[in-house]
Amino acid sequence: MTHDYRAPLPETLFLLNEVLDLDAVFALAPYQHLDLETAVVILEEGAKFAEQILAPTNTAGDERGSQLVEGRVITAPGFKSAYRAFADGGWSGIDLPLNFGGQQVPLVIQAAFSEMISGANLAFTMQPITQRAAAWLLAEHGVDDRAARLVEALATGRYGATIAISEPDAGSDVARVRTSALPHPDNSYRISGTKSWISFGDQDYTDQIIHLLLARTPDAPAGTRGISLFVVPRIDFETGIPNGVSVERLESKMGLHGSPTCTLRFDEAVGYRIGDEHQGLKCMFTMVNLMRLEVAFQGIGIAHTATDKASRYAHQRQQGGRPEEAATPIVEHRDVRRMLLRMQSRTKALRALVLDVAKHLDIARFHSDENIRAAALAFSEFMLPVCKSYSAESAFEIANEAVQVMGGMGFARAGGVEQHVRDCRVASINEGTTRVQRSDQVMRQLLRDNGT
Amino acid sequence: MTHDYRAPLPETLFLLNEVLDLDAVFALAPYQHLDLETAVVILEEGAKFAEQILAPTNTAGDERGSQLVEGRVITAPGFKSAYRAFADGGWSGIDLPLNFGGQQVPLVIQAAFSEMISGANLAFTMQPITQRAAAWLLAEHGVDDRAARLVEALATGRYGATIAISEPDAGSDVARVRTSALPHPDNSYRISGTKSWISFGDQDYTDQIIHLLLARTPDAPAGTRGISLFVVPRIDFETGIPNGVSVERLESKMGLHGSPTCTLRFDEAVGYRIGDEHQGLKCMFTMVNLMRLEVAFQGIGIAHTATDKASRYAHQRQQGGRPEEAATPIVEHRDVRRMLLRMQSRTKALRALVLDVAKHLDIARFHSDENIRAAALAFSEFMLPVCKSYSAESAFEIANEAVQVMGGMGFARAGGVEQHVRDCRVASINEGTTRVQRSDQVMRQLLRDNGT
């Protein structure tokens, strides 16, 4: 009925042109190859990709989902070719450095694109998110040629990647990671253990998948201070034969059916350490800000498309009014109008807020003045957890209100909005209250370390 | 993981024994064949039915759902035999009069049972609810022997029934019902039109299904005042051959997959008028109070079981604490405890409140003193819409909070609570704000009519 996605291009371009002062961003050293006009063209292309290539795969992702067939994941119908178009369009490495094959686009532009693909097909985005996160991890902490080659393979979409943190007994509680990494004479490690809740832990997009994984070396101290970061390829880099990584099962979930959530088993799999021993969690925090920004825009994407669909339905659906006259569109009923206006204003406010935070992250990373960098970082690190939590909650509430506006049709799959409620539900779980508190504590400890 | 249902027997019996004064109910003329001890035995049996017979069918209802095969609905695995046990146990006619084959149990006891079956398998309850509603409609407005025989067939579970109000262009807006009823020389009517969102519009429990349906006779005035009530059997009463009723399609929904939601087509189907011409909506209001009570207890049932499952999970699941010590059950984390206590207290308060309203409905119907009846009716009619809306909203919020408590496992189907979020979502839709306002208006108009 209202399954089609319409990107918020006018709203986003208004913010970029009129509200956010992006001259400051395009003046940063890495972004001088771009200007606002080019960024607008990028987002226009992004909107086309989201609307025409990605959105048509969303319903099949939900209804058919991914499957585990003979130990390998088969993604939902249409996902593989959408991924191919995504990689070919250069979107895989949109914000990654030019020298790694990326497009080196500022986060504020990348984030606006992220909103579009999230609204078009949230499940699909779980793969590019982890792929970019893995690439940034390797770009910042990998020191050898192999790491550089991996970043390029990820930036161009030739390789897939996962971030493998959780274990069956270590979900929110990273300190209890038990996966072991035994040193091998050739400087590699042998990784053994089980990792759970791994998004796109396997897929049929790419032959090679590299797992960025937390594990414990022998005699490592207990808790978070004994954890190191490793890269474990699905196919061994040296021999070209499959490594000791297998998919134990796929989770059956409330939503995000198009995103295969895997439990992975590692049996003496060959792995390579990234960064120093016992510094794994610290390395991971490289990507915390980027991930928070991503989740915030996932929520905005869902909020936008749910509001847009409910609004279109409310203009078409006719109910009520005097019985002897033609029925009126339900948008004319005050309570429906109130709900829609609230949904629209929340979505627009969130988008403006989080794009501004993205801009500050760009400045925090690349401004030439150390003081300006520090101020922008302080602002964005203060704002990001708030943006992330509030956006995740808002997306759920707004999608749920879209169901309410559409009534029975909202509860029906044919209405096209109940999927959004189910898909975005997990966003608030990933960052539950206890979890927020814990990572805040870790953040504080890390900051204290840096201070010594 | 925590799929099993545990009925709130201790909580309910505490309310019945210690809080609600039920002597007043068992003193009412129709209930003198019962006492509190018998009622307790009934509820103990009801809890066994809910826990042992009904709850085991809940997951199959969600995962397999009902299917439309060659024009007939096949219910989910296990539903048919659960229905047989339900009917054989005398639950179909629990509150219907003894002379119609019912058990003539007060609403306050029936409601407590309703909570149990709702918590065990919400989708299953959609059929008994409409069956009882149809039986009450026929018992109060049917005047001939056929009506009496139908009530008995419904009370004993031999026949199924539906309430067919909505049409594709008349959802919230009953005034726009267009299904036509042409008088036939033999005092019957020929019914033609399409009815949508009909719960258990077809099923494989019973050969005969009777549809209680709103339609318009020729030259009927526009709006709600031109609507009459008809009974349309699936199999013609006289000839024993299938009537002109067919299932056009099943809705695919966010939840309640075990409840087949049908679009039914009536092609010159033989129907019989119930009550006076143009008084159809007024007849329907017979059951408004009963339906509101039912929906309130559907919500309480879901709130109870979601809370119970989340609580058990929180006692088992271990996360956090000092890394060198054993992990602590998450129930010991303050934020988890806060959520659980809130969920429990809301559920218990709702149950106490709505059981008290059910008791007042019993008194409003059967007390010998007209003034006491009027006062009890005024109280319950004031409270019921509040109870219904608040219970529907609370159930959704509490089930959603259960997902939050359980984290990733809450989002996974294996956790057993995300289904509750999806199942109970429709309860707030059935009584959206606009809808409440409209039915309140109609109620007021009706009351005004009664006043003239």
Residues from chain B that touch A418, judged by Cβ atoms under 8 A, are 253-254, 425
DSSP letter string, A221-251? PSGGGGEEEEEEESB-TTT-SB-SEEEEEE-
Q: Report the chain A residue with the minimal C-alpha distance to residue B426.
A: A411
Among partner residues B319, B403, B432, which is closest to A172 by beta-carbon distance? B319
Instruction: Return the pLDDT at A442.
Output: 54
Chains A, B: CB contacts within 8 A come to 135
Taking every pair of Cα atoms in chain A, the longest distance, rounded to a whole number of angstroms, is 87
* Contact assignment for A324 to B252 by CB distance below 8 Å: no
The structure's pTM equals 0.92
**B-interface mutation test, from A263, A429, A431, most B Cβ less than 10 A away:** A429
Which residues in chain B are contacts of A171 at CB distance < 8 A? 319, 407-408
Best residue in B199, B337, B405, B411 for a mutation probing chain A (most A CBs within 10 Å) = B411
pLDDT at residue number A142: 86
**Cα separation, B45 vs B51, whole angstroms:** 10
Q: Residues A44-54: pLDDT tens digits?
A: 999 999 999 99
State how far residue A24 is from chain B, nearest Cα, in angstroms: 40
Of B197, B330, B403, the CB nearest to A425: B403
Q: CA of A49 to nearest chain B CA: how many angstroms apart?
A: 28
| pLDDT of the residue at B174 | 82
CB contact under 8 A, A333 and B434: yes
Contact A252, A201 (CB under 8 A): no
pLDDT at A446 over 60: no
Catalytic annotation, pick one of A152, A294, A381, A431: A431
The answer to whether the CB of A250 falls within 8 A of the CB of A262 is yes
Location of structure tokens 């948008």: A331
Inspect the interface and report whether the beta carbons of B422 and A422 lie closer than 8 Å: yes
pLDDT at position B1 is 41
B378/A1: higher pLDDT? B378
Per-residue model confidence (pLDDT) at position A437: 46
Looking at the complex, report in whole angstroms how far the Cα of residue B405 sits from the nearest Cα belonging to chain A: 9
Query: Mean of the pLDDT values across residues A258-263?
Result: 97
Smallest CA–CA distance from A333 into chain B, residue: B434
Q: Which residues of B touch A197 (CB under 8 A)?
A: 408
Q: What pLDDT sits at residue A441?
A: 47
Tell me: pLDDT of A81 over 50: yes
Cβ pair B408:A171 closer than 8 A: yes
* Rounded Cα–Cα distance for residues B271 and B182 (Å): 9
Q: Could you read off the pLDDT of A61-78 as tens digits, one per residue?
A: 999 999 999 999 999 999
ipTM score of the complex?
0.89
Rg (C-alpha) for chain B, rounded Å, is 22
Which of B429, B435, B439 is most worth mutating to test chain A (most A CB atoms within 10 A of its CB)?
A: B429
Q: Do A429 and B407 touch (CB under 8 A)?
A: yes
| Among chain B residues, CA nearest to A261 | B412
Looking at residue B452, what is its pLDDT?
A: 40
* Whole-angstrom distance, CA of residue A212 vs CA of residue A231: 5
* CB-based contact B418 A254, cutoff 8 Å: yes
Select the residue of A173, A418, A425 nearest B319 (Cβ to Cβ).
A173
* Closest chain B residue to A407, measured at CA: B429
Report the chain A residue with the minimal C-alpha distance to residue B419.
A254
Does the beta-carbon distance from A404 to B320 stay under 8 Å?
Answer: no
Backbone angles phi, psi at A340, to 5 degrees: -65, -40
Task: Determine the Cα–Cα distance for residues A30 and A363; give it in Å rounded to an integer.
Answer: 11
Assess contact for A172 and A434: CB atoms under 8 A: yes
- The reported pLDDT for the residue numbered A290 is 87
Q: Do B251 and A323 touch (CB under 8 A)?
A: no
CA distance B343 to chain A (A): 17
Mean pLDDT computed over every residue of chain A: 92
Contact A434 B171 (CB under 8 A): no
Task: Tell me the shortest Cα–Cα distance from B80 to chain A, in angstroms.
Answer: 24
Amino acid letter for position B147: A
A323, A330, A404 member nearest B428 (Cβ): A404
Name which of B410, B426, B434 is nearest A335 (Cβ-Cβ).
B434
The pLDDT tens digits along chain B (452 residues) read: 445 999 999 999 999 999 999 999 999 999 999 999 999 999 999 999 999 999 999 999 999 999 999 999 999 999 999 999 999 999 999 999 999 999 999 999 999 999 999 999 999 999 999 999 999 999 999 888 999 999 999 999 999 999 999 998 877 778 889 999 999 999 999 999 999 999 999 999 999 999 999 999 999 998 889 999 999 999 999 899 999 999 999 999 999 999 999 999 999 999 999 999 999 988 888 788 888 899 999 999 999 999 999 999 999 988 777 777 778 888 988 889 999 999 999 999 999 999 999 999 999 999 999 999 999 999 999 999 999 999 999 999 999 999 999 998 999 999 999 999 999 998 887 654 445 544 554 555 455 445 44
Residue pLDDT, tens place only, A303-337: 999 999 999 999 998 877 777 777 888 888 888 99
Q: Which residues of chain B are within 8 Å of residue A330 when distances are taken between CB atoms?
A: 434
- Cβ within 8 Å, pair B433-A335: yes
A254 contacts B413? CB cut-off 8 A: yes
Contact B222 A323 (CB under 8 A): yes
C-alpha to C-alpha distance for B200 and B179, rounded to whole angstroms: 19
Residue A1 scores a pLDDT above 50: no
| Residues of chain B with C-beta less than 8 angstroms from the C-beta of A318 | 169
Report how far residue A405's alpha carbon sits from residue B434's, in angstroms, rounded to the nearest whole number.
10
Which residues in chain B have their CB less than 8 angstroms from residue A166's CB?
408
CA B344 – CA B341 distance, rounded (Å): 5
How many other C-beta atoms can be found within 10 angstroms of the C-beta atom of residue A261? Answer: 24
Report whether pLDDT(A452) > 50.
no
Q: Do A428 and B404 touch (CB under 8 A)?
A: yes
Q: How far is B240 from chain A (nearest CA, A)?
A: 35
Residues of A in contact with B424 (CB under 8 A): none
Chain B residues with beta carbon closer than 8 angstroms to that of A336: 434
Buried b (16+ CB within 10 A) or exposed e, A308-317: bbbbbbbeeb
Residues of B in contact with A338 (CB under 8 A): none
Does the beta-carbon distance from B336 to A434 stay under 8 Å? yes
For residue B72, give the 3-state DSSP assignment. strand
The proportion of chain A whose per-residue pLDDT surpasses 70, expressed as a percent, equals: 94
- Residue in chain A nearest B396 by alpha carbon: A400
- CB contact under 8 Å between B336 and A407, yes or no, is no
Residue of A411, A418, A422, A442 to mutate, interface with B, max B Cβ within 10 Å: A411
pLDDT at B16: 95
Q: What pLDDT is recorded for position B220?
A: 92
> Between A172, A318, A418, which is nearest B254 by CB?
A418
Kindly report, residue by residue over A374-420, the tens digit of the pLDDT: 999 999 999 999 999 999 999 999 999 999 999 989 999 999 999 99
Q: Sign of torsion, CA B96 B99 B103 B109?
A: positive
Contact A176 B327 (CB under 8 A): yes
Tens of pLDDT, residue by residue over A134-148, are: 999 999 998 889 999
Contact list in A for residue B324 (CB cut-off 8 A) is: 222-223
Tokens of A215: 């594990």
Asked if A428 lies within 8 A of B323 by C-beta distance, the reply is no
Helices and strands in chain A, H and E counts:
15, 9
| Two tokens, residue B402 | 């259960």
**Active site annotation includes A397:** no
Q: Give the residue among A7, A34, A11, A10 at the shortest CA–CA distance from A22.
A: A34
Residue A286 confidence class, pLDDT cut points 50, 70, 90? confident
CA–CA distance, A140 with B203 (Å, rounded to integer): 61
User: Tokens at residue A123, please?
Assistant: 């499940």
- Sequence-distant (6+) residues with CB within 8 A of B368 are B29
Give the closest-approach CA distance of B169 to chain A in angstroms: 7
pLDDT reported for residue A68? 97
| A128: pLDDT strictly greater than 50 | yes
> Is the pLDDT score of A9 beyond 90?
yes
**Annotated active-site residue in B115, B294, B418, B431:** B431
Q: How far apart are CA A350 and CA A111, in angstroms?
A: 13
